[in-house]
Amino acid sequence: MELRSEKRIQGSIELRIRKLGELGPMLQGTPVRKYRKCAAPGCPCKQGKKLHPFLVVSTKVARKTQTLYVPVAMEETVLSWVKNYQRAKTLLGEISGLCEQLVRMHCGRALAASQRKQLLESNAPRTFSGPSGI
């Protein structure tokens, strides 16, 4: 792990926060391409040849998997929302890691300052009062 200054870490955090604000709409989930048969009587999908693709977004809500059907007209838009969410999740993880570095850096400095203070106090010149009662 490379040593970085507090200002550089703060700058990195601010940059990632700005990037978060630029992302736009987000949708949590995993896009899944599925295939189905249609209801048309003469369609080749009835004979098991070429099935019709469709897109759903799968996500967990209260420990249960839920799927959201995506209309064909919205596929590209929804896929970009999912990518935005994934990017936001990555950025939040990076921000958290940088904040952790700041805390550890501060803890290290506080410990060093405490140890320095103890060292200075232990090396302070002592006055000799002589034997008591003289």
- Identify the CA nearest to 79 among candidates 45, 55, 49: 55
Residue 20 lies in a domain: yes
Residue 81 lies in a domain: yes
- DSSP-assigned beta bridge partners for residue 59: 66
pTM of the entire predicted model: 0.71
What domain range includes position 66? 6-118
Identify the three-state secondary structure at position 63: coil
As for how many domains the chain has, the answer is: 1
Residues 14, 29: Cα–Cα separation, whole Å: 27
Q: What mean pLDDT is reported for the chain?
A: 86
Mind listing the pLDDT tens digit for each residue in 67-78?
999 999 999 999
Answer whether 35's CB lies under 8 Å from 51's CB.
yes
Asked if the model's pLDDT at residue 103 lies above 60, the reply is yes
Residue 131 lies in a domain: no
